[in-house]
A and B are shown apart, each in its own frame.
Chain A
Amino acid sequence: MCGICGCNQTLIAGHAARPSGKAVRFRLHKQAPETADAVRLVRIERDILALNNDHAAANRRALAERGIFALNLVSSPGSGKTTLLVKTITALNGALPLAVIEGDQQTENDAVRIRAAGAPALQINTGRGCHLDAKMVGQALEQMKLQDDSLLLIENVGNLVCPASFDLGEAHKVVILSVTEGEDKPLKYPDMFRAASLMLLNKCDLLPYVEFDADLAISYARRINPALQVMRISATSGAGMQAWLDWIKEGSSQAASA
């Protein structure tokens, strides 16, 4: 029986070599009935994210050529990404040239906060999209006139799910988890904690007031990603920020000298 439409005609099955070199399997009805078009199978075997990954690779090459150290900041909504960026810009105080890409579904608010802190910021509104993708970032890079050997901070849309899958071409993903979320977040959203190089445990100033077992949260995250670096910080009080600033400076000077 024909495997395509279930009719009783015998099939001619075979392999044809295409000019591309890719083998294409095809199957035809022996006496093609009413349809004139041949039905055939085309082998694809490509990652669903292949096109995003191509754009990300192009971004990564462009950034590397210019010694730019790019970080992709990811978290649930409200864990403190913009507050952290503002504090980081203030603390670096011009020691490192930097620029920010802000991703939100709507509004220019976060870019306005960054500009008020003294850094150039480009806002990308994703509309119904729930994450930044590599093509959006590639277009932003063309508009932004970044300095060589500078720092590029990308604040992704607040969402712990799909930003994990969409590579932007960054050097590292930095995941921010705040102590007002549950300590089992790393288990509930494992992809993000697996994709990140560094976890910032933020809002640690609130630890005395909330039930949050920081050691447990960290052990959950390392269960998924044993190489994950962790820093405990408070973006509002500034506690623990020095380790984060040192980490940025170290990565940035490596990117610049590579």
Chain B
Amino acid sequence: MHEMSLAEGVLKIMEESASAERFRRVRRVVLEIGKLSAVEPEAMRFCFEAVMQGSIAEGAALDIVETEGQGWCAQCACHVPLAALYDACPHCGNFPLGVTAGDAMRVIELEVE
């Protein structure tokens, strides 16, 4: 399950931040997970809890902000909603569409003490 190593990536980012920003504990983590990214939010929740055990973020709350997918249709010259990477343009049926939003997976903010 690759959410496990992604959760480890989240922990490393928090540990780096802890020494730069001088905090000892993380109480809440806000992640942005695009609907077109390779992350399943439920799997991330499961792995997050496991990976954070014994760390500065043990027991921390996890907020996942899911962002909608968006693509660019070159034929129509407009942005269109995109539910999957292989979707066609709803106006003209053209694909592929360039992904313009919804493929990010980022650590947005931490609540720390």
B56 within 8 A of partner (CB): no
Q: Which residues of A contact B6 (CB under 8 A)?
A: 48-49, 165
Q: CB within 8 Å of B: which of A121-160?
A: 128-131, 133
- Residues of A near B2 (CB, < 8 A) are 130-131, 161-162, 165
Question: 12 new A-B pairs (CB below 8 Å) besides A41-B111, A42-B109, A44-B17?
Answer: A20-B20, A40-B23, A40-B112, A44-B106, A44-B109, A45-B106, A45-B108, A47-B104, A48-B6, A49-B9, A51-B13, A225-B96
A-B residue pair count with CB separations less than 8 angstroms: 103
Contact of B5 with A42 in the complex, beta carbons under 8 Å = no
Contacts of A161 in B (CB 8 A): 2, 38
Q: In the complex, what distance in Å separates the CA atom of A48 from the CA atom of B9?
A: 6
Nearest-neighbor residue (CB-CB) of B20 within chain A: A20
Cβ of A232 to closest chain B Cβ, rounded Å: 21
Mostly helix, strand, loop or mixed at chain B's interface?
A: mixed
Docked pose: A166 CA to B4 CA in angstroms: 13
B113 within 8 Å of A by Cβ? yes
Contact between B1 and A18 (Cβ–Cβ < 8 Å)? no
User: Looking across the interface, which residue of chain A has its beta carbon closest to that of B110?
Assistant: A42
Contact of A48 among B13, B17, B109 (CB under 8 A): B13
Q: Are B13 and A50 in contact (CB under 8 A)?
A: yes
Interface size class of B (residues with CB under 8 A): 35 or more
Q: A20-B20, A49-B9, A165-B2 known; A40 and B96 CB under 8 Å?
A: no
9-residue interface stretch from A31-39, A80-88, A96-104: A31-39
Main secondary structure of the interface of A (DSSP, over half): mixed
Residues of B within 8 A of A (CB): 1-2, 4-6, 9-10, 12-13, 16-17, 20-21, 23-25, 27, 31, 38-39, 84-86, 95-96, 104-113
Asked if residues B96 and A48 are in contact (CB atoms below 8 Å), the reply is: no
Asked if B9 contacts A50 (CB within 8 A), the reply is yes
- Of B5, B25, B107, B112, most buried by chain A (CB within 10 Å of CB) is B5
Asked if A46 and B85 sit within 8 Å, CB to CB, the answer is no
